Chain A
Amino acid sequence: MSDTPVAEMSFEEAMAALEGVVGQLERGDVPLDQSISLYERGAELKKHCETKLREAEEKVAKITLGPDGAPQGTEAL
């Protein structure tokens, strides 16, 4: 069980961790105390994944280029 704080995980990391936790718990060979802390971690990971999924927003911008071809800013597409 990794010790990386859940809040710092990328979506992909959290996903992999959640998968691991579920698998471990489903195998059922975890001591009772540990299975409860595993469950709590799983719930936290799930929440983190869900937050990452829900906060997705669409934002499209076009880069405006200066006369030298370097990007200057953005404008709506």
Chain B
Amino acid sequence: MVLGFVDLRSMVRGKTKQVWRDMSDLFEDPTPEKQTSGNAPEFSVSEIAGAVKKTIEGAFGRVRVRGEVGRVTLARSGHMYFDIKDDRALINAVSWKGQVSKLAVMPEEGMEVIATGKLTTFGSQSKYQLTVDAVEIAGEGALMALLEKRKKALAAEGLFAPERKQPIPFLPEIIGVVTSPTGAVIRDILHRLSDRFPRKVLVWPVAVQGDACAPQVAAAIEGFNAMTPGGALPRPDLLIIARGGGSVEDLWGFNEEVVARAAAASDIPLISAVGHETDTTLIDFVSDLRAPTPTAAAEHAVPVRAELLAWTSEQEARLTRALTQGLSRRGERLRDISRGLSDPQNFVNTAQQRLDRWSSQLDLALRTEVSRKRARFQEHAGAIRVASLQGGITQRRADLEKLAERLASAPGRYASRKKEDFSKQSNRLRSEIVVRHVREASRSAEGLFQRLSDRATRQQQDRLQKLEALDRLRQTLGYKATLARGYAVVRGDGDLVTSKATAEQAAALEIEFADGVLVTGQAGAPTAQPAGRKPKIIRGGGEEDGGQGSLF
């Protein structure tokens, strides 16, 4: 780079010399006539400006200028004006609207750049300027500074967060590879894939360096994500973004924000493998897995088929072994346990023996019992004689016949006797006698009833008369009737007063007339109060007490 710069300077110096020579040609000719300056041809300002422009453009053509970007102005027209300077000089630079949109790097103040463009003049202001159509970052340090800045911005957005990382599928069906279709990288990847586990691979060809790199890589990632699983172009289930080693500038496309954002947004798990192990690009921070080399990416992408086949066989062997062992272990255990069981024949044998014994005894016992019964039978059978039995039977039969004869005549006799009794009795029975008896009895009953009621009425009248007479007597005998004839009863202090002396002593006197009681002296004497004794007094106040009183 430094060499290039020196080259440029020497080139510029060379060209300048030539320009100088041309100019001397132009101006040195009239030198001999220096004294006759009046004859010197005259240029108009525009003519000289035009000549200068033509000279400068012709002498320099396209140049690359390295310097630090000064003030940058983006005009409303879309043109961009900026300065490029070093420690001693400054040059104006302009990028027209159409050029600005194609710039790979947008100049920023303080950025060390190499600007490529045509040197020209701006005659109306006596200026010269560089019309810039390409800007590159100058030097690794400057690039790294820019990369750091981007990294910080994306990290702040959380695009590097570990929780965003998707797991890499264990065995992807289809692998999408974004890389150059030619060159060692794709060969390495395909070779390693087919060594380990042959898979379907879709290669999306892209430029892996230069200005086209970043937009193409971003478009490829987005394009793979847009495919439908199982479609005509089946969507891969793993992406590998790969590029071989190169300079920082070569790898720069993978440091671009579009690429990083496309990788971060990918729904398909993504392995990045850009450059050598020591190169780290922006895409490595957002990818789900960073592989140090393209070959390593292929190793991460698929397992080794042979190993898996071996593993599968091993599993099968283990499976069979485990089952067989399980069976033999159980068989052994069964044998162990069954040894503990005694022979079932033993149980049967004992029982069999008992059965044999008893069944042999059964025969004997039966025979003994029969002979015993027979002996007893013969004992009794000896006493029975056929002749005596027959005699008994004949006797009983004769008795029976006799009884049968009697039985036949008996009912007739009994019935005729009872019939005789009945006719005798029925002759004595007459209905007139009964009727007469009834009539007489009812007549006498009527008479008795009449007498009873007469007697009762008479008795009641007698008693009523007697009661009235007695009541009249009671009235004449009571002291109340006496009062009506002009007598009075005097009471003092509640007691009957019968003498003057007692009357004088009494605090108050009550005189009872036929029509009421008169109180004299101290009215309401307390002694007159006891009510409980009152009936006694009245009774005592009667002229005749004693026997008459008891009548009430």
> CB within 8 Å of B: which residues of A?
10-12, 15, 18-19, 21-22, 25-26, 28, 30, 32, 35-36, 39, 42-43, 46, 49-50, 52-53, 56-63, 65, 69-71, 73-74, 77
Contacts and interface: CB of A to CB of B under 8 A. Distances in A.
Interface string B226-251: 01000001000000000000000000
Interface string B173-200: 0000000010000100010011001111
B201 interface: yes
B12 interface: no
Interface string B195-229: 00111111111000000000010010001000100
Given A39-B319, A61-B201, A71-B233, A49 B329 contact: no
Interface stretch (B307-315, B379-387, B429-437, B444-452): B307-315
Contacts of B193: 58
A21 B312 CA distance: 13
Given A12-B171, A70-B223, A61 B198 contact: no
Interface residues of B, number: 39
B352 interface: no
Given A50-B312, A60-B203, A74-B233, A32 B330 contact: yes
A56 B319 contact: no
A25 B322 contact: yes
A74 B219 contact: no
B305 interface: yes
Interface of B: 169-171, 181, 186, 190, 193-194, 197-205, 216, 219, 223, 227, 233, 305, 308-309, 311-312, 315-316, 318-320, 322-323, 325-327, 329-330
Contacts, number: 106
A46 B202 contact: no
A56 B322 contact: no
26 contacts: A10-B171, A12-B170, A12-B171, A15-B311, A25-B326, A26-B322, A28-B325, A32-B327, A35-B323, A36-B323, A42-B316, A49-B308, A49-B315, A52-B171, A53-B309, A56-B197, A56-B198, A56-B305, A57-B200, A58-B201, A59-B200, A61-B201, A62-B203, A63-B223, A63-B233, A74-B202
Contacts of B205: 62-63, 65
Given A11-B170, A25-B319, 9 more contacts: A10-B171, A28-B329, A39-B322, A58-B193, A58-B199, A60-B190, A61-B201, A63-B203, A71-B227
A53 B308 contact: yes
Given A65-B205, A77-B181, A22 B186 contact: no
Nearest to B178: A63
Contacts of A49: 308, 312, 315
Given A53-B308, A62-B203, A42 B326 contact: no
Contacts of A43: 316, 319
Contacts of A58: 193-194, 198-201
Nearest to A24: B322
A35 B312 contact: no
Contacts of B219: 69
Contacts of B316: 42-43, 46
B309 A50 contact: yes
Contacts of B319: 21-22, 25, 39, 42-43, 46
A59 B305 CA distance: 16
Contact of B315 (A30, A42, A57, A60): A42
B185 to A, nearest CB: 12
Contacts of B181: 62, 77
Contact of A77 (B203, B322, B323, B330): B203
Nearest to B232: A73
Contacts of B204: 63, 71
A35 B324 CA distance: 10
Nearest to B329: A28
B318 A26 contact: yes
Given A46-B312, A62-B181, A69-B219, A28 B201 contact: no
Contacts of A30: 326
A71 B326 contact: no
Contacts of B216: 69
A43 B315 CA distance: 9
B419 to A, nearest CB: 104
Nearest to B215: A69
Contacts of A11: 170-171
A67 to B, nearest CB: 13
Nearest to B302: A56
Contacts of A28: 322, 325-326, 329
Nearest to B176: A63
Contacts of A42: 315-316, 319
A17 B323 CA distance: 17
A42 B314 CA distance: 12
A65 B216 CA distance: 11
Nearest to A60: B201
Contacts of B171: 10-12, 52
B173 to A, nearest CB: 9
A49 B170 CA distance: 13
A63 B233 CA distance: 9
B326 A32 contact: yes
A60 to B, nearest CB: 5
A53 B323 contact: no
